[in-house]
Structure formats: C-alpha cells, structure tokens
C-alpha cells in the first residue's frame, strides 16, 4: 500500500528525484541549437561556491509555442498529474503583481522510495507570462531543504514562435542524507524524464 505523503512544519521540499541529481559530480557541456532541435536534452551541473551540491542546468526544445508550454508550468496545483514523482501538490495562495506577473505559493510533496519519508516544500514563485519570456522563478519558504531555488524560463526557439526553448535550473540541498544508489538512479533518469513528461503534457494542452 502506498505511503501517505507527510508534511513536516520544521522540514519540507520541491521535487525529489530532481534535487537528488544535484548530488552527482559536475558534468556536461552546452549543446548546439542543432542538437537541441533534434530532441536532445542538455544536462549539466555547476559547482556553486559555499554549497555542497551543484546547480543543475537543463536545456531542451519543446514543439509548441511558449504560451502553450507555460500552461503546464503555470499550474503548480496540477503538478501531481503533470510532473514525475510528485505525491501531491496544491496552490496555497496566488496574487497579481501587476502586468504579466503574479506570485504563487505552492506546497509540493515528492514521492520518496521506501524506507524514506516523502519530502515536502512550500515555495514562493514569481510567474511571468510573456511577451518575451514565460517563466516561473521560485525560492523556498520552508521545507526539507536548506536551499531550494530554481526556475523555468521559456522563450521562442524559432522565428515563427511555434517551438520553445526550455531552460530549467535547480539548486537544492536536502536536509537528509541520500544513499549512493538513489543518486545513481536520479542521474540516469530524473532530468530526461522531466523534459519528456513536459513534452507529453504540453501535447494535451488545448
């Protein structure tokens, strides 16, 4: 029987499988637009001074306009259904910041494999909806991480605006020790899974 997700007031998080991959060594190099256009995903990790874990940086192309792709990113309450390994997600508060900007406070609980407890985070994000950039940029309010910040940035990949350049960044340091086998599994699948899931969910947007 699946374990019920738990939220701890003094601990909490964003996306587990994604943040776990931050514990692996720095690797990767920037891909050309030609490689990205063919469907490849650029994944690299950058060391940050003063932190134990590097920042993950992912770049890919999705075959849909930025505004369409953003409909998936914009809806944190539906991340359980649109993002990999999310046990539950909900929008706690939303307010307009004027113009194309709004603030979203979300609670997201990540599904951890047994015997680990699920991880939970409350984050505060600024959403921007065009015209040049569609983005979600967040920081941690409280959670199972000492640090959890990141961003989705979407821009036009081609002149017609029918394809989207997706840039994803995540810097997270969990408060709990992560075994080597989990880090290895995250390295092999987490970030490519995230992009592939985004591509699939974007196809469902009307």
Which DSSP string corresponds to 106-126?
EEEEE-PPTTSPPEEEEEEEE
Q: What is the per-residue pLDDT for 10?
A: 33
Full-model pTM:
0.82
pLDDT in tens, 43-65: 998 989 988 778 889 999 999 99
Judge whether 66 and 134 are in contact, CB under 8 Å.
yes
Strand 101-110 and strand 119-129: pairing? antiparallel
20: DSSP letter: H
Q: Is the dihedral of CA 30, 31, 32, 37 positive or negative?
A: negative
146-182 residues labelled b (16+ CB within 10 A) or e (exposed): ebbbbbbbbebbeeeeebbbbbbbbbbbbeeebeeeb
**Higher-confidence residue: 177 or 4?**
177
Is the pLDDT reported for residue 15 higher than 50? no
Fold of 16-204: Alpha-D-Glucose-1,6-Bisphosphate; Chain A, domain 4 (3.30.530)
Q: At what angle do helices 66-73 and 180-204 cross, to 10 degrees?
A: 130
Confidence of residue 6 (pLDDT cuts 50, 70, 90): very low
Say how far apart CA 157 and CA 46 lie, in whole Å: 24
* Structural domain boundaries in the chain: 16-204
Q: Computed over its alpha carbons, how large is the radius of gyration of the chain?
A: 16
């Amino acid at each position: 029987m699946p374990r019920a997700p738990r939220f701890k007031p003094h601990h909490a998080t964003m996306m587990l499988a994604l943040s776990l991959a931050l514990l692996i060594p720095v690797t990767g190099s920037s891909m050309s637009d030609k490689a990205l256009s063919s469907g490849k995903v650029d994944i690299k990790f950058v060391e940050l001074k003063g932190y134990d874990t590097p920042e993950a940086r992912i770049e890919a192309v999705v075959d849909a306009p930025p505004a369409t792709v953003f409909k998936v990113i914009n809806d944190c309450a539906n991340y359980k259904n649109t993002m990999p390994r999310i046990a539950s997600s909900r929008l706690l508060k939303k307010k307009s910041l004027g113009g194309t900007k709004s603030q979203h406070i979300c609670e997201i609980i990540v599904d951890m494999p047994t015997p680990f407890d699920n991880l939970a985070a409350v984050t505060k994000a600024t959403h921007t909806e065009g015209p040049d950039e569609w983005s979600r940029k967040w920081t941690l309010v409280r959670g199972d991480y000492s640090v959890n910040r990141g961003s989705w940035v979407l821009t036009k990949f081609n002149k017609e605006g029918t394809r989207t350049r997706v840039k994803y960044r995540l810097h997270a340091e969990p408060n709990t020790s992560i075994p080597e086998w989990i880090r290895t599994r995250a390295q092999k699948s987490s970030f490519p899974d995230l992009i592939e899931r985004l591509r699939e969910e974007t196809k469902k947007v009307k």
